[in-house]
Structure 1
Amino acid sequence: MKQYLLSTTALACASLAAATEYCPPAGIPLLPLPDLSIAPKFDPESLEAALNRLNSEAILFNTSSTSYSVSITTTEDTVFEYHWTAPNVNTTVGVSEVNGDTVYRIFSVTKLFTVLSALLQEGLDIDDLVSKHVPQLEGSKNFENTTLRMLASHLSGAPRDGFAFDTSLRGPPDSLQDELGLPENATVPEGFPICNSIEFGLCATGEEFLEGALISNYVWPVGRTPAYSNYAFVILGYAIESFTGKSLRDVIADSITGPLGLTSATGLDSQDASLMVIPGEVDHFGTQDIGEWNGTAGMFSTPKDLARFVRGLLNNELLSSTDMAKWLKPASFTSSSKGEAVGMPWTVLRPTSLGLDSGERPVDIYTMPGGQGYYNAYAAIIPEYQLGYTVNVAGVGDDPALRALLDHLVRYSVPHFDTVGREQVREHYAGRYGSGESAIELVVDDGPGLKVKSWTTGGKAVSDAWVEFFGSAALNAVDADVRIYPIGADNHWRVAFRGISDMNSTGIFEDACYTWFSHGAWLYAGLSVDEMVISLGENGTATMVSVPGLRQNLARS
Structure 2
Amino acid sequence: MTMLKSLLCYMLLGTALAIDYCPLYGPQYPPPINLHQNSIFNAATNNITSTLNADLPSDGTINTTSFAIQIFSTEDSAENPLFKYYYTSPATQNATVGVTHIDGDTVFRIGSLSKVWTLYTWLLRADGYKYFNRPITDFIPELRRVAHQQKRNQTKSEDTVDFAQWGEITVGDLAGQMAGIARDYGLNDLAVTTPLYALEALGFSALTCAEIPACGSGGTCNRSELFRGLPSSHPTFPTSHSPAYSNAAFQILSYALEKITNSKFDSLLTDSIINPLNLSRTSISAPPAQYGVIPGTEASSYWNFPFGEEAPTGGYYASINDLSTVSRSILANTLLSPAVTRRWLKPITHTSSLDFAVGQPWEIFSYQEGRTIDLFAKMGNIVAYGATMGLSPDHNAGFSVLVAGPNPALASSTLTMISDLIAKLLITALEAAAKDEAKKFTGTYVDTTPNTNSSITLVIDSGPGISVTSWINNGVNMLETVKTFYQIPTLADVSVRLYYTTLDHRVESGSTFIGFRAVMGSLAESNTPPAYQGPIGSSCHSWQLIDSVIYGNIGLDKFLVEVNEAGQVVSIQPRALRTTLTKQ
TM-score range for the pair, normalised by the shorter chain length: 0.7 to 0.9
Identity value in percent: 28
- Counterpart of 1:234 in structure 2: which amino acid? Q
Q: What is the match of residue 293 of structure 2? A: 277
Q: 1:70 Cα deviation (Å)?
A: 0.9
Q: Secondary structure at the match of 1:140?
A: helix
| 1:486 equivalenced with 2:500 (yes/no) | yes
2:146 to 140, 144, 147: 140
Q: Within 2, Cα distance between the matches of 1:378 and 1:125?
A: 28
Residues 291-320 of structure 1: CA deviation (Å, up to 9, x unaligned): 121110110001111111111111111111
Counterpart of 1:99 in structure 2 is: 103
Instruction: Note closer, same or farther for the CA distance 1:55–1:171 as it changes in structure 2 (3 Å cut).
Output: farther
> How many aligned positions are there?
528
Distance change >3 Å, CA 266–CA 511, structure 1 → 2: farther
CA distance in 2, matches of 1:296, 1:489: 35
Which of 262, 266, 271 is the matching residue for 2:279?
Answer: 262
> Is 2:436 the counterpart of 1:423?
yes
For residue 89 of structure 2, the aligned residue among 86, 91, 102 is: 86
Report the secondary structure of 1:35's partner residue.
coil
1:549 corresponding residue in structure 2: 576
Match of 2:4 in 1: none
In the alignment, which residue of structure 2 is the partner of 1:355?
none
**Aligned match for 1:111, one of 111, 115, 130:** 115
1:388 alignment partner in structure 2: 398
Deviation at 1:46, TM superposition (A): 2.5
For 1:175 and 1:442, locate their aligned partners in 2 and report how far apart those are by CA, in whole Å. 72
Residue 63 of structure 2 aligns with which residue? Answer: 63
Partner of 2:71: 72
Aligned 8 A contact 2:121 2:268 in 1 = yes
**2-structure distance, mates of 1:102, 1:213:** 36
- Which fold has the larger relative contact order, with Cα–Cα distance below 8 Å and residues 6 or more apart in sequence? 1
Q: 2:323 pairs with 284, 306, 329, which one?
A: 306
- In structure 2, the residue matched to 1:5 is none
Aligned pairs (5 A) from 1:464-483: 464-471=480-487, 476-483=490-497
Moved over 6 A (4+): 12-19
SS class of match (1:46): helix
SS in 1 for 2:230: helix
Q: 1:95 to 1:521 in 2, by over 3 A?
A: same
Distance 1:556 1:267, change over 3 A: same
2: distance between equivalents of 1:390 and 1:523? 44
Q: Determine the structure 2 residue equivalent to 1:51.
A: 52
Preserved contact between residue 498 and residue 519 of structure 2 (Cα < 8 Å): no
2:218 is matched with which residue?
A: 200
- The TM-score normalised by the length of structure 1 is 0.87
**Structure holding more helix per residue:** 2
Unaligned runs of 5+ in 2: 1-7, 148-164, 506-512
Alignment counterpart, residue 207 of structure 2, candidates 166, 184, 187:
187
For 1:357-372, list aligned pairs within 5 A: 359-372=369-382
CA displacement 1:30-89 (0-9 Å, x = unmatched) = 212333288437534322111112312316x2422x111111011122111111111123
Distance in structure 2 (CA, Å) of the matches to 1:321 and 1:455: 34
1:126 paired residue number: 132
Structure-2-length-normalised TM-score:
0.83
Contact persistence 1:497–1:515 (CA under 8 A): no
Query: 2:367 matched to 1:351?
Result: yes
SS at match of 1:440: strand
Deviates more, 1:412-421 or 1:152-161: 412-421
Change (3 A) 1:39 1:49: closer
Contact 1:152 1:233 in 2 (8 A): yes
Q: Secondary structure of 1:447's partner?
A: coil
- The answer to whether the Cα contact below 8 Å between 2:17 and 2:538 also exists between their aligned partners in 1 is no
5+ residue gaps, structure 1: 1-8, 353-358
Q: How much does 1:500 deviate?
A: 5.6
Change (3 A) 1:169 1:157: same
**Alpha-carbon separation, structure 2, partners of 1:216 and 1:423:** 54
Q: Distance in 1 between matches of 2:22 and 2:279?
A: 39
Of 166-175 and 13-22, more deviation after overlay is shown by 13-22
1:377 correspondence with 2:378:
no
Asked whether 1:433 is paired with 2:445, we answer yes
Residues 85 and 98, structure 1, Cα contact 8 Å, conserved in 2: yes
Contact 1:107 1:376 in 2 (8 A): yes
Shift of 1:270: 1.8
The alignment partner of 1:304 has SS state of helix
